[in-house]
Amino acid sequence: MSDGSDLLGTRPPGRTHVTLLRDGGAHTVRAGTLLGDVLPAEVGGEPVVAGLVDQRPASLVAPLWSDASIAPLTTGHWEGARIYRRSVALLLLEAAARSHPELELRVGHSFGYAQSIEVRGPVASRTALAAELNAQMVALVDADLPLVEPWWTVEQARAHFERNGWGDAATLLRTRRRAAVPLVSYGQVFAPRFGPMVSRTRALSEFALVAEDEGLLLVHGVMDPTPKPRRREAGPPDAEDTSSAALFARSSEAMLVPHLRWLDALGTTNVGELNRACIDGDVSQLIHVAEGYQEKRIGQIADAIAAARDRVRVVCIAGPSASGKSTFIRRLRVQLQVDGLTPRGISLDDYYADRDAMPRDEHGDYDFEAFEALRRDLLQSHLLRLLDGETVRTARYDFKTGISRPDGGDELTLAAGDVLVVEGIHGLNPALLPGLADDRLFRVFVCPLVQLPLDRLTHVHASDLRLLRRIVRDRHGRNTSAADTILRWPSVRNGERRHIFPYQHHADEVFDSSLVYEACVLRVFAERYLLEVGADHPAYPTADRLLALLEQFVSIYPDHVPPTSLVREFIGGSGFEY
């Protein structure tokens, strides 16, 4: 079977040598030389997992047929870490196909540095299965299997996926406009290629597969910042490597299951089915049902707060960047009023310390996300006085001058039937209000969690959805370019990992702010903003990957998106004031 390279015109006639620009120098090599042959194995102690060819990520097995600038991509870069994790997941599917072909494994949602693995088929013991698959993965690492990247025609690929039970991949190909499709494999399992993969299995040495209540959990050891890889032998993983990821997964499971069942009833359990619904079905009805489901969930959270009104006086709401907290809070306030409660609001942003007392991060910049950046003593004093029935002049932080004004905010009194809504990044941290008993607090975690799969291997990442939301919002709402937003994103994510996700399990309720259709709407705006990122810009590799992701979705124009929708917070036209 042809690899499709002739079909795609990647072998220019008459070229015997190409010139490559790397590290400020020019190197001439034979045309067709593999990218991995002209890049180092590691940089600064970090393994090179892929390369950049004219700033586009490419696998190390990619042949070079034309002049280009090249650079290594390591696990120290957020795109390199993503490539590593996706490659480990493909290794798991390969291991399952060889040792347990009777089972169907699907890579599910991400939980921090881990991914849920759904297992379909008879399993006597998930613990034994995890140990067997972990051992098989280690054996495949030792075998040092090469990555292959064949090109098949769309018809060949669809037939293959339908025969092998990859119906979601086959359905997605129905809207593919190109004649050929790239695949990846370490041997028996072929998956659609959505970006480069690690070129040999021997480089995949950091992982752990553990049993969970409803399936398995694949824990990735390569993180940002990345530790040096070490061999993971077969057997039970170290507890410290998996406990936090497992806790995150378990605490979200109760919310995920009903949402997934709802998507199944709606007939949109993968991106291919969503596209088919957009083309063949009633788009406005799809939007209305999705919005109705979310409004019902907000009402349920409000009901839970109202049911505890005799003891709960403070509601803390936290979530990562672009999670939709602002719209959620406004809609929750409406539902609380329906339940007979009057919400009063305080933002943790108004309780920052003076700038000269602000902690700094590892780069020497002011760290507004650090827990120590807050005047917790002032916040706690104000809250306790409010709960005692006093009238309090709240604080205000002047971001222009960097001065904290302890009594510069609004005057506030909590009357009977009032509930105080506290918004901020540290809202789930028990250390925020140590003087307040837990039974007087109600904590809510807001984040888009349920994302549709493209196929058995590849899911849309919730972090990518949040990044797309932020790119759209910041570009036309704050005049910040997509490139600047992308470069800022790793710092934002690091702050979330330090200050939000470790405390997610303290939430009394989890609100999934994702909407099944929103990537289709975001594409209308984000595509153009991402195309503005120049090919010579450091943000280009991520912009290029996000453009390829958006290409998988059918566009939906926002005409039918209601003004109260959470999506309006990012695309504009909201009925709420922010």
pLDDT at 281: 77
Count of domains in the chain?
A: 3
Other residues' Cβ atoms within 10 Å of the Cβ of residue 273: 20
Record the tokens describing residue 327, joined without a space: 């719209």
CA–CA distance, 182 with 194 (Å, rounded to integer): 8
Record the tokens describing residue 345, joined without a space: 């609001």
CATH for 57: 3.10.20.30
CATH for 191: 3.30.980.10
Residue where one domain finishes, among candidates 182, 199, 229? 229
pLDDT digits (tens, 9 = 90+) for 19-47: 999 988 999 999 999 999 999 999 999 99
261 found inside a domain:
yes
CA–CA distance, 269 with 275 (Å, rounded to integer): 11
pLDDT at 12: 65
446 found inside a domain:
yes
533 shares its domain with 434: yes
pLDDT at 15: 77
140 shares its domain with 74: no
pLDDT at 215: 86
Tell me the pLDDT band of 336, cut-offs 50, 70 and 90: very high
Other residues' Cβ atoms within 10 Å of the Cβ of residue 282: 12
292 shares its domain with 434: yes
321 shares its domain with 453: yes
pLDDT at 253: 57
Tell me the pLDDT band of 50, cut-offs 50, 70 and 90: very high
550 shares its domain with 493: yes
Calculate the CA 384 to chain-centre distance.
Answer: 37
Cis link prior to 72 (omega < 30° from 0)? no
Tell me the pLDDT band of 239, cut-offs 50, 70 and 90: very low
477 shares its domain with 561: yes
100 shares its domain with 70: no
384 found inside a domain:
no
User: Stretch 199-221: mean pLDDT, rounded?
Assistant: 89
Tell me the pLDDT band of 362, cut-offs 50, 70 and 90: confident
289 found inside a domain:
yes
pLDDT at 405: 94
Beta bridge partners of 219: 114, 208
Beta bridge partners of 52: 57, 71
pLDDT at 232: 39
Which residue in the block uniquely carries the two structure tokens 């307040």? 436
pLDDT digits (tens, 9 = 90+) for 295-319: 999 999 999 999 999 999 999 999 9
55: left (phi over 0), alpha (psi -120 to 50) or beta: left
188 shares its domain with 319: no
390 found inside a domain:
no
Domain range spanning residue 567?
A: 249-341+417-571
User: Stretch 382-398: mean pLDDT, rounded?
Assistant: 94
176 shares its domain with 285: no
Where is 474: in which H helix or E strand? Answer: helix 462-477
132 shares its domain with 274: no
The yes-or-no verdict on residue 250 having pLDDT over 70 is: no
314 shares its domain with 461: yes
pLDDT at 7: 36
pLDDT at 450: 81
355 found inside a domain:
no
Where is 496: in which H helix or E strand? Answer: helix 482-499
CA angle at 282 for the pair 278 and 284, rounded to the nearest 5°: 95
DSSP 372: G
Instruction: List Cα–Cα distances, 217 to 86, 117, 212, in angstroms.
Output: 14, 6, 6
Tell me the pLDDT band of 260, cut-offs 50, 70 and 90: confident
pLDDT digits (tens, 9 = 90+) for 545-574: 999 999 999 999 999 999 999 999 999 999
Contact present, 281 and 540 (Cβ < 8 Å): no
169 shares its domain with 217: yes
Residue where one domain finishes, among candidates 52, 78, 104? 78
The yes-or-no verdict on residue 338 having pLDDT over 80 is: yes
On average, the pLDDT of the chain sits at 89
434 found inside a domain:
yes
Residue where one domain finishes, among candidates 183, 198, 229? 229
pLDDT at 103: 96
8 found inside a domain:
no
Contact present, 533 and 540 (Cβ < 8 Å): yes
pLDDT at 231: 36
Q: Residue length, the chain?
A: 578
Contact present, 31 and 16 (Cβ < 8 Å): yes
